[in-house]
Structure 1
Amino acid sequence: MTYTKNLFKHIILLLVFTCYSGWNHAEEFRDSTESEIREAQTLIENQAFDKAFRIFKKLAQRGDSHAEYNLGVMYFKGLGIPQNYEQALIWYQKAAFRKITEAKVQLAWMYAKGLGVRQDNQQAMSYYREAAIDGNIIAQSALAEMYASVQDDTKNAQQAFYWHQSAAQKGNAFSQYKLGQIYRTGDGTEINLLQAAYWFERAANQSNADAQFHLGMQYASGKGVIQNHQTAAFWLKKAADQGSEAAKIQLGMMAYAGIGMEKNLTEAFLVNQGEAQQGNPVAQYNLGLMYANGEGIQKNLESAIYWYEQSAKQGNTGAQYNLALLLMREDTINRSPARGIYWLEQAASSGNQLAQFNLGAIYANGEDTAQNYLLAYQWFALAEKNGHPTAGKFKEKIAKKLSKKELAIVSSTDHSPQKM
């Protein structure tokens, strides 16, 4: 089982808050010495951690569950004493045995990460489950993600849905976003785009950038909501302001097309330029397109080739195809038909029907390479199979140039064309 980076960040932030909220449990535990607990709280507020530690340790050794938990926090965070995960684990276990829910959450986190103990996801799930049943929304959200991390398992997907729903209904923004995703994809329940939009909006209103992005995309497409490009731009801007690369690119495309905002090619160029320089393949493709067409920037085919190639190397088939066409153009300064054919083959092998058709034409006519009717036939056949409207006609023309033996060989081929 694995967690996503975002989940780890989410849980860390919440657990730190939970730890500190533990200072305020004095009245909840009958065995606490109220005056001493209040004194320790004051010391914590004044950052006199060493004195607070001595008080909590004395009370913990008497069996005070509240003090046991807070002593675990101090060892875990290294407050007043050197950080010691093993000691934190011991005191959390004592507090958890006495039904302190926050201690169960911390223990689950430590087992999941292998802090002070051997990493054990099953034990982590056990503690998260106990805390989730107690009603702790952090545990419910984390438990849901652990269930979700088990791929291709319907039962676990349903459990993920159940626990995310429980946490979402109590206001947990991360689970609200994840619940929206579940309704969007149907992984754990039936697809319901109306519900997806509802939960995305609840999370978006709590500043969850991923939810803001997906809500914006739903408004842009009109799926689950009434299409509204201005509202789409509003939520995408919110997500972009929080660093969402996908939102920035989408806004750049909207500015390019004048959808949901005034058409602004300069803004579109700048947005895509920034993301392209960070290595985003979609932005690199868009930047190549704008350089090729002279939109938002002076036309520059060499710059277009550069950015198309950056995107093509990351597997963007549109970039591979456009790069190939530029490399084979007569007016390209550093024209390179060999490189052009290479990138056409890359795009064609990924299913791009236009690249497949063009390769068929190149080999049929012997343009910039040796004429090869066998390859031409195979590429035309593949383009036809993938829906190219005229590839079939060209395939039949090439068929007339092949012998029966050759035609039998190429007709039986069920993979990407290869030289014979």
Structure 2
Amino acid sequence: MKYIGKNLITALAITLPFQAASINLLKANTEFKNGQYDSAFSLYQEGAEVGSAHAYYQLGVMYSEGLGVKADPISSLIYFSLAADQKYHNAESVRDAMLAELDGEQLARVDELLGEFALRQHNEQQRYLPKIIEQNLDYKVTFNGSPALERKFFYDMTEIDSEIVFPVGVIVSRPAFLVVENDVATDGSVRHISKIQKTGYVNRYIDSYQLFPFAQPQFKGEPVEFVNRAYLGAATNDKFGLIEDLPRLYGETRKIVRTAKKSDTLEDQYEYAMSMVLFPWMEEQPHQAETLLKSLAVKGHPAAMYEYGLELYMEQKDIPEAIKWITEASKFGLARAEYRLGKLLMTSPWIEKDEKKALFWFESAMQKGHEAATLNAARIKITADNTSLRDIEGAMEYLELAEKSQHLNPEYFYLLALSYKDRPDRDFALAVKNLEQAIVMGNRTNWDTSEWEALLARMTRGKVTVTDYF
């Protein structure tokens, strides 16, 4: 490190201009393991741009060993130092060993320049990361006055008493198992359902589940959106019910437990934690699943980061910690975490709304095939308050991508209507037709479509031209 001052300045100059397009550290890890260092290096750079400690560490390794890039001890020191600031793995000891090789003058210069670099990196990352509204942390979301959402259980039953009325649920005769995650809109309706785990024929559950709105989420008296997990069919069973209805699933679950007790791999431990999340009766001590997920999150397991953060968020136990871990999972490029972070940036009462940041995370998730992220990205491009983000042609491309998966979603037709209204070759007739379709479909699934109906009334009142409304 003889020419440390010159080399470090050069390293600082060449590192910052990179701009992330999407994040996929899971793919980067695969490429790295397969010796595809050039592509891995580029993907790790994207992760470094949003402040991923894992990406910093891997870039430190690659610069140290000359993998996919010319060996450069100064750049290696930079990235190990950034990883050490987040206490990642053994980055602190690696950094300290490298610093120990420097004399006093060099060490002072390194400390100064590393401080400058870390500050510049921090400032760059603010383009992507959420900012918490501190004054809102003392308040919680309520649901028609209740502190928590009612957990909805959808049961399997082989015999039906026609006199029994089930306020929430679907009754079917063949057992199946389904856990879903969904958005809860301001009107309490179920939006953007994604399957977390399933066994058997589950479409019947989803078709019925979306018909039953939740209590309306509110924050300080104002409507907000929230997130929910629901357990359907055999997912509601106790141990003995699961053995009777789905013995194979029970056997697989017990196998996961046995494996985890003999293994210390992060993946085996994560499977064990999630088994306890799905089946609380498996816990041998209170909060065992939550404790294990937190431990795995700290050790760098991206899915555990998301599950732990989401659990904290849904329970409103520690909002800053919840947002931190959902963000950390997003930095890995975990699509469901990226989608959730995008939604939080648009709707969470504890995070400053930022359409540009949300669009980045939605687009990163859609690159990995996340269907709801594609639709939400299109919405921003059509309706953004920040007019610099509006891009009707780009939104049209996204809607085309979403058509196959979202053709039963009322929101898809609403956005399609807006796109026909605003696109260069606007088509008023198709705008009206698709808006009417959105309203009909929304009413069937108990959505509040009053805003759409008001728009339709403005568009079809009296003598209409394309610019007569809004």
Q: Do these two structures clear the TM 0.5 threshold for a shared fold by scoring above it?
A: no
Of structures 1 and 2, the one with the larger relative CO (CA 8 A, separation 6+) is: 2
More helix by share: 1
Q: Which has the larger radius of gyration?
A: 1
> Counting strand residues as a fraction of each chain, which structure ranks higher?
2
State the TM-score, normalized to the length of structure 2. 0.40
- Given the two structures, how large is their TM-score scaled by the length of structure 1? 0.45
